[in-house]
Amino acid sequence: MINRVHIICHPNSGQGQGKYILSKVLAYLDHYQIFYQVHQTTAVNQAGLMAKQIACQVDLSDNNHLLIIGGDGTLHDVVQALWEIERIIPVNYIPTGTGNDFARAWLKDQTYQDVLENMLFHPQIVNVPIFTYENHLDHHTGIILNSMGFGFDAVTNRKTGEFMATLNPFLKRLVHKLKLAYLCGLVLSLSSVPKFPLHLIIDGKSIAHKDVSIATVVNNPMLGGGIQIDNLSRADRAELVTILYHDIDFSAIKELLAKVFIHKNQDRSKHVTRYVADYLRLIIKEPIQGQVDGESFIFPEIDMTFNLATYPFILPTPRSAY
């Protein structure tokens, strides 16, 4: 029997969905007389600090569990923090964010009850493929659960946040319920499609592109709550994939919108190039907007290497949706 469940919850995730699901989770645990300790975030990056404290203070053996309630950003912060201190603790996860891309791949059609039942009665560990990266310019290292992108996907991510911030609470809940947030952000971003040169080193081969609008290292084919940036990838394949959208003009935008959202065959476009590698180095020698698992950043320059790794999750079933 489980001794205690340590819960890290972002209560404001998904326009308050995190707080609502937390109440349901606590009622479920109370029903089975399971002890728990709740840690609710109130600031950016707090989830990671909480995870480090729990990992250092608690023996998270088979009789103690770590449960995350929040969006992709909260989950990323926790896994990143545990990776940094080399405490590779299996994670249970209930998605309550805006995009929920990790859950779309690994928890499709699973409810919070499914996650809790699996955690309490028949937990099984799935080693989920992730990426690690190092920026050689500042020696920062990190992990990627879903994707790291530069250019238009990062602009869309930022525009989505700005758009949601302008809405009143009712409209925020409505947009979240209809899963329209990232689609609205994409439409708002079409007037400012960036273009930049980059240099790739893939398995020792040097490749240059002059006119790139999206450069994304893809672990999960979904981006921004269901936009399939790569129609060939699967989250469970353990492939180091880079997708470039390049040489974009107005006619290309029309073509790509149809291929991405309707036909699901953007790999057939001359404006999309896909690389699969064992070793990847990506260099961008100018300031660029980026995102890591949905969290936006501005990078002055990029010189990063990427590698495959795995991280243990406790999942109801070891499957991917794509």
Please provide the DSSP assignment of 193-234 as one string. Answer: ---EEEEEEETTEEEEEEEEEEEEEESSSEETTTEES-SS--
Quick one: which of 279, 151, 276 has its CA closest to 223?
A: 151
Contact 245, 272 (CB under 8 A): yes
Look up tokens 């250019």; give the residue: 151
Class of domain 4-123: alpha beta
Residue 309 bridge partners (DSSP): 130
Strands 4-9, 36-40: pairing is: parallel
4-123 with 134-309: one CATH topology? no
pLDDT values of the chain reduced to their tens digit, one per residue, 322 residues: 678 999 999 999 998 999 999 999 999 999 999 999 999 999 888 999 999 999 998 887 668 899 999 999 999 999 999 999 999 999 999 999 988 999 999 998 899 999 999 999 989 899 999 999 999 999 999 999 999 999 999 999 899 989 999 999 899 888 888 888 888 999 999 988 999 999 999 999 999 999 999 999 999 998 876 789 999 999 999 999 999 999 999 999 999 999 999 999 999 999 999 999 999 999 999 999 999 998 999 999 999 999 999 999 999 864 444 4
Residue ranges of domains in the chain = 4-123, 134-309
Q: Among the CATH numbers 2.60.40.2310, 2.60.40.2480, 3.30.160.270, 2.60.200.40, which is that of 134-309?
A: 2.60.200.40
Q: Which ranges of 36-151 does DSSP label H, i.e. alpha helix? A: 46-57, 72-84, 101-106, 112-121
Name 92's Cβ contacts closer than 8 Å, sequence gap at least 6: 65, 66, 67, 68, 115, 118, 119, 123, 313, 314
